Structure 1
């Protein structure tokens, strides 16, 4: 007769459960980690973010995690700049961007962290998920003062896409600018396009404008084959559309243009592209990573003011950009439906 197998004790069950991901996530201070994970063997699954702050080894070490860690170290501080923008919906921060925090008193600077000081009115502070952060308007002002023009506009546009009504509040706040950075703040607010569907779409629009192509707008609507389509970025005068990573080439009004589909994803997207080319549109498909904003910028006036000149401008930043030319020999190049002749 076999004796029953003894069931594992509570400690073993706890250890097994924690081994599959039930350990508390970071960031945790040294004291918090010791209290939450008393078993030294389980604490081996934690790695140090900075001195005295830890994360679980399967957590992504990104700007969000490091911003939360910085707020944990300085509870009297206020997350600002890129850190605050991320919490408000900005997804344009580059990899490795350091977390930023405002502190009421000067502290010794640390590598990989940005400390800021100065005036911080209580009206400029709020909370997001239990973290003290600057308000959306104050965050936009800080981005305008701290970042280059392109990065600032892109970050503010991403925030406007995530926060309903922010674009209108920006316009009101910049109607009578005053104080440090007021002019830069007003310039950034004036340059935003609230219809932009992605960070790369914003960058493409801004860089094309700097190269002399200032007619490109986000979310341009046209009708083809009896259906309204939305183009993520287009210049109707040039009959040229730009498809960027992270935005579907075309979409019906009831769908988001920023659905995250690739330019070649889905037969429907391909049909829309073909329909656009048959209607006389030039399609530029941006592929691959972009070059820095200050790299190989075309000079205004060195490119022709037609759709053909847009390709070299885009390729100077996105070398993998490809061109789909208009199919002018097709029988239908009539998006408005006004040239069809009724047969006798």
Structure 2
């Protein structure tokens, strides 16, 4: 189980990550391996003893690491950026980088290079990076030595992000919105909501003007506001596409989790990128009308226990984000995700 500091005293997270690092970031060439993110959330929220059983049920969705092609170099990386066939090359590159330099230094160098491609891989790479960084920060803050599997997980996450890096098309600015919630309400939905997210991104044209900040502290506060608004919105709009709409919340929350490890000058551009990611998912999948939801009387621990028993990876990760917010509407949104998404277990 996790101790009071949030670290994993059982060693189960490291065991699970070692088990997963022989597997690739995707299966069938397009579907993400969510296991590293889900097991981190399970351990983080007191469900470590369920991890290996959960992995046994998820194992049929895992594929071996794809074959390597050729090494990526520090001066030749641009030609490989956004090439999913090079995912193993990228993972090995970041493994070498993290072997030779402090992980914060590597993250700070590559974060601004990867940030414009935040929507690639349906935002899963940045989400995986956020989980990896949270684990490293938790260990660091508790004075616990960083383990090899946790550093390796950051290499896998950054490698996946580099391989699936996908900038959005040029976007116009619509009228400014006074809040994150108002901005989400003003996002124009795509007229034709068909096909995978990658194909929908090409049809985006403009978003409401929101997501800028004059200083790092304001950027962090607005990022918290964005994560709160997207989480709350799932309670009323999650039915539009229950799996994909969780990413409108979990992607910006991954950015929020990474902020403490990043130089402050990167916080404002991180907010701007998080907003575009949340707006893109909202535009691609939002339903025509909101739906009613039922409040919940469950505690945060009870809600997460239900998500863990349900077993769906997206539900686990969304509930983990909802617990970061922790208010009644966020918990109701998490309960809604348990209702809407198909269970794994």
Same fold (TM over 0.5): no
State the structure with more CA Rg.
1
Q: TM-score, normalised by structure 1?
A: 0.25
Q: Which has the higher helix share?
A: 2
If each structure's strand is expressed as a fraction of its own residues, which one has the higher value? Answer: 1
* Larger relative contact order, structure 1 or 2 (CA cutoff 8 Å, min sep 6): 2
